[in-house]
Structure 1
């Protein structure tokens, strides 16, 4: 579904991504892993059209989107749930969700809203509540729910476990697995290496803006280099 070849991007004169190649196929959970500062968020922004690539090619479902505007990328079904949730705190839960269908999914807004409330019953209970008053875990549910309102063909999740308690992290990864089993391909961008590899089909490890390791998640989890670098083993 997603093909990235030789992607280079950055800010001003600073190059952050240095020739990234990756793929996400139908039905997969593909993990993109790495520490802070290796280029994960820049990759997401380049895929979403927020940061223009300096070189390389991005194709989504066979169509080039390298130079596409963010709204066109959303309209195509490539939906990005950003790091830090980026909800609208002064709007209600319901209003935040409705905004998720502003560019895509508007015709089936009511049905999609019901699906989100079925997935996240706590959001139904808090639909009239100000989004800024939700707990961290509830705000992450709202951010993902808002993404689901756009009827994603592929969902990019940027650090969905960030700032959550261990119990909520388990709940969040269970939710990601359930969404995938329902047919949604997911690109999971995370620092949480162990749980991400346990969940993913395949994975890419970023270091210094390029792919250091890639392959089947189970194989990477047993890779001595990865275990030394990320697991301290």
Structure 2
């Protein structure tokens, strides 16, 4: 569904992404893994149209997106749940969710809202509560629920486990697996190497703006270089 070839991007004179090639097929969870500052957020910004690509191509289900506007990318069904949740704290939970269907999914807003509440019963209980008063885990649920309101054809999750307790991290990865089992392709961008590779079909290890390793998740888990650099083994 998503194919990236020769992607380069950066800020001013600084090139951050240095010729990335990767793809996400229908039904897959693909993990992009790496520490802070290696280019993960820059990649997501380019995929979402917020930052222009300097070179290369981004194709989504046969449609070129590397010169598309953020609105056109959302309308195509490539939906990004950003790092840090980025909810609207002074609006209610339900208002935040409804904003998710502003560009896409508006005709089925009621049905999609019901689906999100079925997925996240806590959000139903707090529908009229201000989003800024939710716990960190509930805010992450809200951010993902808002993404689901746009009827994603491919969902980009940027650091969904960041700042969550170990128990909530387990629940978050279980949720990602469940959403994928329902047919939703997911691009998972994470620092959590171990749990990401447990649920992904393939992984890409990003270092200094380039992919240092990539392949089937099971193969990467056993790679000596990955175990030494990221797992300390």
The TM-score, its normalising length taken from structure 2, stands at 1.00
For residues 77 and 13 of structure 1, what CA distance do their matches in structure 2 show? 32
Q: Which residue of 2 aligns with 1:101?
A: 101
Q: Deviations over 1:118-151 (max 9, x none)?
A: 0000000000000000000000000000000000
Q: 2:52 is paired with a residue of what secondary structure?
A: coil
Please state if 1:38 is matched with 2:31: no
For residues 101 and 183 of structure 1, what CA distance do their matches in structure 2 show? 20
Deviation at 1:62, TM superposition (A): 1.0
Q: Which residue of 2 aligns with 1:79?
A: 79
Deviation at 1:214, TM superposition (A): 0.4
In structure 1, stretches of 5+ residues that fail to align are none
Deviation at 1:84, TM superposition (A): 0.2
For residues 63 and 148 of structure 2, what CA distance do their matches in structure 1 show? 22
For residues 82 and 9 of structure 2, what CA distance do their matches in structure 1 show? 18
Q: Which residue of 1 aligns with 2:7?
A: 7
Q: Which residue of 2 aligns with 1:211?
A: 211
Q: 1:123 is paired with a residue of what secondary structure?
A: helix
For residues 10 and 128 of structure 2, what CA distance do their matches in structure 1 show? 40
Q: Which residue of 2 aligns with 1:50?
A: 50
The TM-score, its normalising length taken from structure 1, stands at 1.00
Deviation at 1:32, TM superposition (A): 0.2
Q: Which residue of 1 aligns with 2:160?
A: 160
For residues 115 and 43 of structure 1, what CA distance do their matches in structure 2 show? 30
In structure 2, stretches of 5+ residues that fail to align are none
Q: Deviations over 1:69-110 (max 9, x none)?
A: 000000000000000000000100000000000000000000
